[in-house]
Structure 1
Amino acid sequence: MNSNKTTHVLLFLSTFLTLTYSDIFLNPEVPQTLENYKLYFLENWPYSVSLLFILLAHEMGHYLPARYYGVRASLPYFIPLPFGPIGTMGAVIKIKDQIPDKKILFDIGIGGPAASLVLSLFAWVVGISLSKVVEIPPNFDRSGFLFFGDSIFTYATAQWILGPIDFATMDIQAHPLAKAGWVGLLITAINLLPFGQLDGGHVIYSMFGESYRKWIHILFGFFLLFALVHFTWLIWGFLIYYVLRVEHPFIKDAMYGIGRSRFIFGIIILVSFLIIFVPKPIIVGSEYDNPSLLDDLIRLIVHTVGLSE
């Protein structure tokens, strides 16, 4: 069945609207006036346009290699989310043919995260340089706010460009371009989780072949430990196990393998995942200073060991 281009266009436009107006739409605390919608548009359009461009580049990074190899694929389906701080659940394309071998799987799988990684890094660095550091008033009530967590990359670059920043007494008033870069990096990191039909699953399966089935479930078990840091990863663990699957479906080997250059490129992308991964993506203000389950578990272990000595 051919893609309905009207559907793709409507989803694209709907996603632009939810990206632009997610902070005001269905929010009872913000008056639903035309003037407010104009203000939100003027404030948020850099975020909407830049993030849509990042998402489009990601999907084209899959679509163009697929077409190059003669694998039929749909145009991107953008996924609007009319509530929450992000406004989208990303975008997807549908591969309509069996992928011939692991080399082609690698090229199709890695193209998307490679494209969105580069653009998201650029958006974040430029955006954070346009952002401002603000003082947090003493006894400030955080409970009504949401906070975006940090990866190794976002924390280090924010400190380098704007720092030193003491987040106990300061916060960053992020430019919309920085927010687009942060969301782009988050979506890229989620796609690079090395399981099943996610982009990272395609890449790691192409690199290590059938032998990876011996240890991929162990890696999945270690991934589930992040649920002790933030409940989001428990939801993703459920989706991976029951929907996306832990193991990749069988694809035959390429005649001469994927090649050394592709393997090195895959290692670079997988290492970048570790640098951009956000253990606690979005933090509710009322829980900002609360220890995670992992903190409590470590404290309990240390206390127990201390008692046994």
Structure 2
Amino acid sequence: MESNKSTHILLFFLTFLTLTYSDIFLNPEVPQTLENYKLYFFENWPYSVSLLFILLAHEMGHYLPARYYGVKASLPYFIPLPFGPIGTMGAVIKIKDQIPNKKVLFDIGVGGPAASLFLSLIVWTIGISMSKVMEIPPNFDRSGYLFFGDSAFTYLSTQWILGPIDFATMDIHAHPLAKAGWVGLLITAINLLPFGQLDGGHVIYSMFGESYRKWIHFLFGMFLLLALVHFTWLIWGFLIYYIIKVEHPFIKDVMFGIGKTRFVFGLFMLVSFLIIFVPKPIILGSEFDNPTLLDDLFRLIVKVVGISE
């Protein structure tokens, strides 16, 4: 049965609202007045509109190739989240047919992250160029704030466009477009994790075929080590292992493989994933200067080695 278009429109509208008002809705520290809601609307609509466009492009990157190959797929379901610093859990489409082969799987799988990567890079670059560098006052109390972490790309591009910046004494007042670009890159990176039914799982399975089952669990074990850096990845590890699954279900091969061009583009996307991946996505101000479990483990090893010597 075809999905009801009004459901998709309603979820799209609700996601716009949660993106726009995630900072004020259910927040006891902000007065729930009409004036404040107007203020947040005019301040946040560039974030809401640009991120919705990024999410829509991501899902169309799956939907259009699916339609091209005659694979039935739903329109995007946007997922509103009325609390938290982001305001959404992204969007999804439902693939209603069996994928015929790995070539089709690759094109449907890679289209989404390729589209959102491209748009997120543009939105981030425009947004960070419109952002402002602020000096952190001495003895500033960070405990009441949330901080967005950096990937290699966001750190280097910020230093290039606004820098040099010493983040021990300075911070960025991010433009709403920069925030939208950051979230778009984060969502793209999570989708490119190379496991199960995630986009990265489709891509890596299409590229390496059944032989990847020999090493994908080792790669998953290495991924779990990221929990030593930030607890978020332990939660994702749980979701991947029990719900998304580590291995991809069987899809038959194409007679001549996916081709050199697709394979090279797949490698490009996997390298892009490493560049845009954020080890510590959102940091509580109270934990900003605290060592990670990885830091503690490293110090313990150094101490043990030092004692043994």
Please indicate, yes or no, whether the TM-score normalized by the shorter chain is above 0.5.
yes
What is the deviation of 1:55? 0.1
Is 1:212 aligned with 2:242? Answer: no
Match of 1:142 in 2: 142
CA distance in 1, matches of 2:182, 2:101: 34
Structure 2 counterpart SS, 1:172: strand
Runs ≥4 residues deviating over 4 A: none
What is the deviation of 1:306? 1.1
What are the equivalent positions in structure 2 for 1:1-309 lying under 5 Å apart?
A: 1-309=1-309
CA distance in 2, matches of 1:21, 1:225: 35
What is the deviation of 1:256? 1.3
Structure 2 counterpart SS, 1:168: coil
CA distance in 2, matches of 1:115, 1:75: 16
Structure 2 counterpart SS, 1:194: coil
Structure 2 counterpart SS, 1:233: helix
CA distance in 2, matches of 1:242, 1:148: 28
Structure 1 counterpart SS, 2:134: strand
The C-alpha deviation readout for 1:207-252, integer Å capped at 9, x for no partner, is 0000000000000000000001000000000000000000000000
CA distance in 2, matches of 1:181, 1:228: 26
The C-alpha deviation readout for 1:166-201, integer Å capped at 9, x for no partner, is 111100000000000000000000000000000000
Gaps of 5+ in 2: none
Identity fraction in percent: 86
What is the deviation of 1:255? 1.7
CA distance in 1, matches of 2:239, 2:25: 27
211-220 or 294-303: bigger deviation: 294-303
CA distance in 1, matches of 2:211, 2:81: 38
What is the deviation of 1:73? 0.2
CA distance in 1, matches of 2:261, 2:300: 46
Gaps of 5+ in 1: none
Structure 2 counterpart SS, 1:171: strand
The C-alpha deviation readout for 1:35-92, integer Å capped at 9, x for no partner, is 0000000000000000000000000000000000000000000000000000000000
CA distance in 1, matches of 2:119, 2:43: 21
AA of the residue aligned to 2:94: K
AA of the residue aligned to 1:149: G
Number of aligned residues: 309
CA distance in 1, matches of 2:232, 2:253: 35
CA distance in 1, matches of 2:73, 2:163: 45
Structure 2 counterpart SS, 1:95: coil
CA distance in 1, matches of 2:167, 2:85: 20
CA distance in 2, matches of 1:155, 1:174: 13
What is the deviation of 1:10? 0.5
AA of the residue aligned to 2:88: T
CA distance in 2, matches of 1:277, 1:306: 34
AA of the residue aligned to 2:167: F
What is the deviation of 1:293? 0.3
CA distance in 2, matches of 1:13, 1:85: 18
* TM-score, scaled relative to structure 2: 1.00
The C-alpha deviation readout for 1:242-289, integer Å capped at 9, x for no partner, is 000000000000121100000000000000000000000000000000
